[in-house]
């Protein structure tokens, strides 16, 4: 939740590379939707069972371009995520919560992404990344792992995610969970639970 929406970066990549949007939608639905069976290439990438190099070969083979070119797998995920940018409002929110004495952790499903570790290590603790622990959202074990590292019971933790299945997975283990759509609404929802948190981002 510390970056802009991944869908915007995917849209920019589709436009820049001339990808047929239908081929992306079809592949993501087959590999990532609620009805997708466990063990799809995305699931295996997220848990580290599949390397980025292996994944992009499989992914590129499923895609088509509008002018019928082959999709180049080299640096494919780099191009897909090229438009992802940190969300200053969410970093500010995390910092405010920390300053109020609230622990802020990171629980992320990774597609082999490079994380700005120096920045997030100073702000977030603990950090659990799916490919590093061999587990993935929305399955219970990864939520149980973050709870163990936080040394907190589920009912004392609020989970925020922009994917509904991940929110439902958190609720299934007893966490409070919020569906993130944008920084302002997430801040307002958290301010209900953290009374000292301003409902609006303080003026610069």
Task: Residues 88-193: name the CATH superfamily.
Answer: HAD superfamily/HAD-like (3.40.50.1000)
Phi-psi category of 85—alpha, beta or left, where left has phi over 0 and alpha has psi -120 to 50? beta
Q: How many CB atoms lie within 10 A of CB 6?
A: 15
pLDDT tens for each residue of 119-173? 999 999 999 999 999 999 999 999 999 999 999 999 999 999 999 999 999 999 9
Position 67 confidence tier, pLDDT thresholds 50, 70, 90? very high
**Residues of the chain with pLDDT > 70: what percent?**
98
Q: Residues, the chain, total?
A: 204
Asked whether the CA dihedral 101, 102, 104, 105 is positive or negative, the reply is positive
Domain ranges of the chain: 6-80, 88-193
- How high is the pLDDT of residue 203? 61
Contact 127, 102 (CB under 8 A): no
> Does residue 142 or residue 113 have the better pLDDT?
142
- pLDDT over 70 (residue 202): no
How confident is residue 204, by pLDDT bands cut at 50, 70 and 90?
A: low
Task: Pick left, alpha or beta for residue 161 (phi over 0 → left; psi -120 to 50 → alpha; otherwise beta).
Answer: beta
- pLDDT for 1 equals 84
pLDDT of residue 97: 96
Q: What would the mean pLDDT of 34-59 be, rounded to a whole number?
A: 93
């Amino acid at each position: 939740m510390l970056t802009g929406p991944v869908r915007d970066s995917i849209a920019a990549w589709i436009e820049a590379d001339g990808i047929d949007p239908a081929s992306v939608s079809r592949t993501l639905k087959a590999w990532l939707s609620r009805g997708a069976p466990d063990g799809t290439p995305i699931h295996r990438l997220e848990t580290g069972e599949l390397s980025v190099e292996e994944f992009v070969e499989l992914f590129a083979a499923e895609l088509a371009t509008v002018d019928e070119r082959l999709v180049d797998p080299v640096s494919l995920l780099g191009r897909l995520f090229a438009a992802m940018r940190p969300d200053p409002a969410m970093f500010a929110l995390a910092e405010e919560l920390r300053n109020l004495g609230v622990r802020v952790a990171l629980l992320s499903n990774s597609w082999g992404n490079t994380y700005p570790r120096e920045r997030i290590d100073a702000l977030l603790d603990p950090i659990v990344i799916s490919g590093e622990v061999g587990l993935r959202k929305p399955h219970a074990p990864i939520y149980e792992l973050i709870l163990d590292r936080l040394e907190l019971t589920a009912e004392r933790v609020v989970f925020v995610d922009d994917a509904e299945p991940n929110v439902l997975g958190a609720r299934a283990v007893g966490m409070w969970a919020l569906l993130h759509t944008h920084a302002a609404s997430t801040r307002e929802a958290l301010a209900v639970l953290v009374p000292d948190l301003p409902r609006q981002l303080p003026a610069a």
